[in-house]
Amino acid sequence: MSKKLSIQTLCVKEYRDDKHKTPHQLPIYATSSFAFDDIQQSADIFAGNKDGFVYSRYGNPTVDIVAQKVADLEAYGTGLNAYGFLTSSGMSAISVLMMSLLKSGDAILTQEDLYGGTTELFNKVLVQLGIKIIYCNFDNMDEIEHTIQTNRDIRMIYFETPSNPVLRCIDIYKVARLARKHGLWTCVDNTFCTPVIQQPLGLGIDFVVHSTTKYLNGHGNSIAGIIISHHEKLKNQIGTSLKLIGATCNPWDAWLLNNGIKTLCLRMSKHSDNALQLAQFLNNHANVVKVNYNGLAENIYHDVAKTQMKYFGGMLSFEVQGNAKTAIHVMNKLKYCTLAPTLGDVDTLILHPVTSSHLRVDKKVREANGITDNLIRVSVGIEAVEDIINDFEQALK
C-alpha cells in the first residue's frame, strides 16, 4: 500500500487487524460507524436480513455485549431469556421505556416516594406528552387494585423497592400478580439492589431499569442506564425508540461498567454488611430519632424484604434529633464520609434529600412520605466499618 498511495492518504487510511486475536479483556469499539465489505452486505444489515453493526447509535459491540451481560444477571436462575438496552443514563432508560410503550391518554400508576428526578420526569415531561400520573399507597394492595379498577387508562405500574430515600419495601410478587390480573405492564427500578440482591423479573415483573452509574458500576466513573425485559415481541419496539431518541450509551461508559460488574458480588455483600452494622449503631444512638433500614428486625418492611432480597443492601437513611439545621451541622462535621449527589460507590456517601435530590418535590408530599428536613441518606461504602461508625459517632456528639 505504501508504494501505491501518497503519504497524505496513508495518514488517513485505517489499518486493519487481520490476525484474528482474541482479546482477554472486552475491547472498546470507539467508532461512530462500521465499514462494509460490499453494498449487498450493507443492504442486508440495514434491512435486518443479517446481523451486523452500522452506526454506534444503532448498536455497538462493546455496548451490546455489556447490555446482554447485565440482562443475563437479572435473569440468572429464573429460566427467562432476557435482553437489555444500555442507555445514556438511568433517567433516559425510564424515559425511553415509557415513550416506547405509552401514548397520550395512557396513565402510569406509581408511588409518591420515588427518586426526585423520576418524579420530575413524570410530572414535568411525560404529562406534556398526554401521559397521566396517578399515585397511590403501594403498602396497600387493596388500594392499588381499587385505583386500577377506577382508572381504566392505567397501562403501566412503576415503582422502586427499596424506595429512595426512605427505603420503603414493596411486595414485588403481589404487585406483579395484580398487574397480570388487569393486563398491565410493570417496571421496577432495581438500582438500589442490583440482581445480586433482588431479581424482579423472576417475581413476575415485565421490565427492570437501573441507573448503572450506581452499584453496577460501583466506582463513580461513568454514567449510564439500562432497560431489561424478557418480552421478545417488544424488543424491536424499544430498540427503535432508543435509536431514534438517541439516548444510547457510549462504548467507554459501557466498558467502565463492565469492569465494575466484575466485583459486584463482593461489593454488594460488603456494602450490606457495613450498612447493617451502621444501622444498628445509629438505631441505638440518643441523637437519632429514626433509622430506615430493612435489615433491622423492627423495621416495618423487614419481613417483605426477607422474602425478595438476598441481603438488605448498602443504602440507609436516618433522622437526627432536631431540624434541617441540625442535619446539615452533623453532615458538615463528618470527616471521612463524602457529601456527593450520588450513591453506590465504594466509599461512603451522604446526602441531604430536601436540599438536593428531592428539592423540587412538593414539601407536603415529602413530609407525608417520611422525607423530612432532618433526614440524612447514606450510601454505605466498603471501607472498614469501624472507620465509618467512628466518623458518624464523632459527628453526632
pLDDT reported for residue 21 = 72
Cα separation, 139 vs 141, whole angstroms? 6
Task: Name the 3-class secondary structure at 331.
Answer: helix
In a shared domain, residues 183 and 76: yes
Q: How many CB atoms lie within 10 A of CB 285?
A: 17
CATH number reported for the structural domain that contains residue 346 in this entry: 3.90.1150.10
C-alpha cell at 177: 400478580
**Residue 2 belongs to a domain:** no
Q: What are phi and psi of 95, to 5 degrees?
A: -60, -50
Asked whether residue 142 falls in the same domain as residue 231, the answer is yes
Q: Are residues 87 and 119 in the same domain?
A: yes
Cell (9 digits) for 270: 460488603
pLDDT value for 14: 80
Closest CA to 192 of 285, 113, 256: 113
Q: Quick one: 255 exposed, middle or buried, by C-beta within 10 A (0-12, 13-18, 19+)?
A: buried
Catalytic residue among 44, 55, 57, 69: 57
Count of structural domains, the chain: 2
Per-residue model confidence (pLDDT) at position 383: 98
Looking at 233, 261, 289, which one is the last position of a domain? Answer: 261
Specify if 106 maps to a domain: yes
Neighbours of 18 (CB within 10 A): 6
* 121 occurs within a structural domain: yes
Where a domain ends, among 243, 261, 279?
261
Residue with cell 420503603: 168
Q: What string of pLDDT tens digits covers the 397 residues of the chain?
A: 546 888 788 788 887 777 667 888 999 999 999 999 999 999 998 888 999 999 999 999 999 999 999 999 999 999 999 999 999 999 999 999 999 999 999 999 999 999 989 999 999 999 999 999 999 999 999 999 999 999 999 999 999 999 999 999 999 999 999 999 999 999 999 999 999 999 999 999 999 999 999 999 999 999 999 999 999 999 999 999 999 999 999 999 999 999 999 999 999 999 999 999 999 999 999 999 999 999 999 999 999 999 999 999 999 999 999 999 999 999 999 999 999 999 999 999 999 999 987 888 888 888 888 899 999 999 999 999 999 999 999 999 9
Do 127 and 133 meet the contact criterion of CB atoms below 8 Å apart? Answer: yes
Residue 36, CA distances (Å) to 28, 39, 55, 291 in order: 19, 7, 11, 58
Full residue range of the structural domain in which residue 289 is found: 264-396
- 135 in active site: no
Q: What is the pLDDT, as a whole number, of residue 362?
A: 83
Same domain, yes or no: 352 and 224: no
Torsion angle of the four alpha carbons 263, 266, 271, 274, in this order, in degrees rounded to the nearest 10: -140
Q: Which position among 132, 155, 168, 214 bears the catalytic label?
A: 214
What's the N-to-C CA distance of the chain in angstroms?
Answer: 74
Looking at residue 20, what is its pLDDT?
65
DSSP alpha helix (H) spans, 76-171 = 90-101, 116-120, 141-150
- The whole-angstrom separation of Cα 215 and Cα 119 is 21
Q: Where does a domain end: 261, 289, 322?
A: 261
38 belongs to the catalytic site? no
Classify residue 70 as left (phi > 0), alpha (psi -120 to 50) or beta: alpha
256 lies in the same domain as 285: no
Residue 361: its pLDDT value, please? Answer: 83
Please pick, among 64, 106, 113, 189, the residue that the annotation labels catalytic: 189
Q: Is residue 3 part of a domain?
A: no
The C-alpha atoms of residue 160 and residue 175 are separated, in whole angstroms, by 12
Residue 118 placed within a domain? yes
> C-alpha angle with apex 186: 316 to 125, nearest 5 degrees?
80
Amino acid at 68: Q
273 is catalytic: no
Q: Are residues 378 and 347 in the same domain?
A: yes
Residue 57 is part of a domain; what is its CATH number? 3.40.640.10
The yes-or-no answer on residue 363 being catalytic is: no
| pLDDT given at position 363 | 85
- Of the candidates 29, 115, 301, 311, the residue annotated as catalytic is 115
Non-local (6+) Cβ contacts of 4 within 8 A are none
Structure confidence at residue 319 (pLDDT): 97
Run of H or E including 155: strand 154-160
pLDDT at 3: 63
